[in-house]
Amino acid sequence: MTPTAYSAIPLPLSRPGWRRALVTGGAGFLGSHLCERLLDDGIEVDCADDLSTGSADTVRRLAGRPGFRFLRQDVSAPGCPDALPGPYDLVLHFAGPASPADCRDRRLAALDAAGPGTRNALAVAERDGARFLLGSACQVYGDQAGHPQREDYWGHVDPVGPRSAHDEAKRFAEALTTACATAHGTDAGIVRVFDTYGPWMRADGRQVLPTFVRQALAGAPLTVEGDGSQTRSLAYVDDIVEGVLLVAASRSVRPVNIGGDDEASVEEIARRVIHLTGSPSRLEYRPGRARGPARRRPDTTFARELYGWRPRVPWEEGFKRTIAHFTERTPAGCPGVGWL
């Protein structure tokens, strides 16, 4: 099946009448931007997060906004739905360790967020008759056979490998979401988010771009894993948020890719950062280890044809905004290697 075959049922492009939304994982990078955008649209937001990988800074920046409420809550905990009072019109489930590196450190937490966490979030949506959207990720495709990655590709994932907790957690969450939509008639959808960047990324050496920016601003070597030839397709967070909310506003059940078309090697990303920061840093190559696919770029035909969505922020503008944010907030000193 091709992505265009999914467009047989016309979907609305306008926002429904959402009044209150729940964002699980709302203190994370993407979650906090979703909270902010919903608040900008006049929608009240409950942000549920246990702050195990999310940042209290993102909560503080939103805390004074009218209609915002922070609920410190592990969404995978028993009885969680009772702690999320609602009622909600929209449930965005983005809880769980965000990056493969986080998942390597918190494997059980990643699987819990995908299993009990997704089931609890679905239960809240079912209780309130809300639209549910699962925040899945490109890792469901694993070491893909084709390029770019299309929604109808079933994936090539090692269920016991070093990245299994992240990859299989997302795949199971998708299966659970689809099962509830089929068995219970839950108004549920799935969005597969590809590599996203922008202000409020965590500056702890877990992902390529913030690692490179910190290192460049400190004049330290930019540490590149392997030969730097592996590619990633980056998209600025504002574009991703718009795509996520378009999928949320639809009646789509099938997974939808949302991601950038700016495919660049990790080495090229590092050189872009050096150029825009004016840093004297050089590249330092380190031995590679188990990592993601050699190439990663989404096929976004479905999102483009059905929603009219496409990434709009050019990489240079997005990088400048991100660098400006880190310039204001990142202290000197930047150990770490960038992984995606």
Q: What pTM value is reported for the model? A: 0.89
- Residue-level pLDDT at 154: 80
- Residue-level pLDDT at 292: 65
Taking the C-alpha atoms of residue 96 and residue 85, their distance in angstroms, rounded to an integer, is: 21
- Residue-level pLDDT at 103: 63
CB 303 within 8 A of CB 246: yes
pLDDT averaged per 10 residues in sequence order, the chain, 340 residues? 35 71 96 96 96 87 94 93 94 84 76 90 97 92 79 78 82 94 95 95 81 95 92 95 96 92 94 97 84 81 93 96 89 41
CB atoms < 10 A from the CB of 57, how many?
13
Taking the C-alpha atoms of residue 147 and residue 113, their distance in angstroms, rounded to an integer, is: 29
**CA 77-250-187 angle, 5° bins:** 40
CB 254 within 8 A of CB 151: yes
- Residue-level pLDDT at 324: 96
Homologous superfamily of 19-193: NAD(P)-binding Rossmann-like Domain (3.40.50.720)
